Amino acid sequence: MDFQTKVELPTGSPLISHSERILLMGSCFAENIGSLLAENKFRVDMNPFGILYNPLSVSAALVEILKGKVYQEKDLFLYKECWHSPMHHGSFSASSPEGVLQKINARLSQAHRSVHELDWLMLTFGTAYVYEQKETRQVVSNCHKLSESHFNRRILSVDEIVNEYTSLITSIVARNSGLKILFTVSPIRHIRDGMHANQLSKSTLLLAIDRLQQRFPEHVFYFPSYEIVLDELRDYRFYADDMLHPSPMTVRYLWERFSETFFSAETKQLITAVEDISRDLSHKPFHPESEAYQRFLGQIVLKIERLNGKYPYLDFQKEKELCHIRLNP
């Protein structure tokens, strides 16, 4: 007996390899998958603006990365003794404008240097609801707990999202004809306005992405993370304590389904080899000064060197430094 309805995975999608450059942007689900890609030594840049939830904020951030914008103090505002950027997550906020600008511009510069060499752009939309500043009519990425009286809140239309991304994708692909764009919709539920409003929001995102796939069939792809959680994992045991976010087990399950869709047999073997090195390094010896443990560390270094010999783009710098520290206490 089968007690699970399997979601049909996309077929014929391009495969993702360790040699390719990947930029992930969007909601915290982008960080879930992005963190696993990074752990497994894929070449990733993740959320240069921090977590972004709505499509217009993601597109605005991408435009600023493409242009190489440099932030200035006039782009920030002071609230409750902290300086903030309305385009950035609160992790960029600081007690001085200099502190905020240093963090923002360093990340923007890093993303700008590689954006035109990307192989994959992975975008996760969380909600179709946006907050617009009343004075400027600009959509903000983060309200930073300012009073709602400063904003108008509304839901985007399918046409708004499609028109925005049609222009953006056309511009990006003109510069990088080989770019692949993978959209996902976050399975995290936004229930502030109730379950029905959340479904309307998610449906808007799904319809917009489907239209973009039809317009750009050679460049735009979709992974059904939202559907997998709702249909394959229909139980609250697959959620975190807030009953809204996916649990770590669910993230691992989505990673497995993602792997089925986008990884070749060789890529999966390489992931296994990377996991073996990580597992070896996490081993805590009873006698770290023993010759046996020193030989064990030496074997890890050899494994890294063999992998780097075959795949020179894998970054094992931290692992090498850790081995060196343990070999020379």
Is the pLDDT confidence value at 64 over 60? Answer: yes
In a domain, 77, yes or no: no
Is there a single domain that holds both residue 156 and residue 189?
yes
Give the domain extent around 149: 21-47+116-263
Is there a single domain that holds both residue 177 and residue 162?
yes
130 with 156: CB under 8 angstroms?
yes
Is the pLDDT confidence value at 236 over 70? Answer: no
119 with 173: CB under 8 angstroms?
no
Note the residue count of the chain: 329
In a domain, 92, yes or no: no
Is there a single domain that holds both residue 150 and residue 124?
yes
Is there a single domain that holds both residue 163 and residue 286?
no
In a domain, 65, yes or no: no
| Tens of pLDDT, residues 282-311 | 888 888 888 888 888 889 999 999 999 999
DSSP 14: P
In a domain, 25, yes or no: yes
Residue 193: predicted pLDDT: 73
Residue 290: predicted pLDDT: 87
Is the pLDDT confidence value at 1 over 60? Answer: no
- Determine which of 9-23, 42-56, 243-257, 288-302 has the lowest per-residue pLDDT on average: 243-257
Question: What residues have CB less than 8 Å from 159, skipping those under 6 apart?
Answer: none
d(CA 158, CA 128): 9
Half-sphere exposure of 147 (CA within 13 A, CB side): 2
Last residue of one domain, picked from the residues 244, 263, 282:
263
Is there a single domain that holds both residue 205 and residue 318?
no
Last residue of one domain, picked from the residues 233, 263, 293:
263
Per-residue confidence band for 238, with pLDDT thresholds at 50, 70 and 90: low
Instruction: Specify the 3-state DSSP secondary structure of 253.
Output: helix
Number of domains in the chain: 2
Residue 191: predicted pLDDT: 76
d(CA 260, CA 237): 23
pLDDT above 70 covers what percent of the chain?
95
Is there a single domain that holds both residue 176 and residue 246?
yes
Is there a single domain that holds both residue 283 and residue 301?
yes
In a domain, 38, yes or no: yes
- Cβ-in-10-Å burial (0-12, 13-18, 19+) of 326 comes to middle
- Cβ-in-10-Å burial (0-12, 13-18, 19+) of 205 comes to buried
Is there a single domain that holds both residue 216 and residue 300?
no
Last residue of one domain, picked from the residues 221, 245, 263:
263
| Section 232-251 average pLDDT | 70
| Section 27-40 average pLDDT | 92
Is there a single domain that holds both residue 170 and residue 253?
yes
- Provide the CATH number for the domain around residue 223: 3.40.50.1110
In a domain, 60, yes or no: no
Residue 244: predicted pLDDT: 64
In 68-182, which residue ranges form alpha helices assigned H by DSSP? 97-115, 158-175
Is there a single domain that holds both residue 139 and residue 208?
yes
46 with 34: CB under 8 angstroms?
yes
In a domain, 122, yes or no: yes
Is the pLDDT confidence value at 102 over 90? Answer: yes
Q: In what order do the strands lie in the sheet with 139-140?
A: 139-140, 129-133, 151-155
Name which of 231, 210, 232 is nearest 221 in CA terms: 210
Is there a single domain that holds both residue 167 and residue 250?
yes
DSSP assignment of 150-190, as one string?
A: GEEEEEPPHHHHHHHHHHHHHHHHHH-TT-EEEEEE-----
| Tens of pLDDT, residues 107-146 | 999 999 999 999 999 999 999 999 999 988 899 999 998 8
Is there a single domain that holds both residue 240 and residue 320?
no
In a domain, 13, yes or no: no
Residue 60: predicted pLDDT: 97
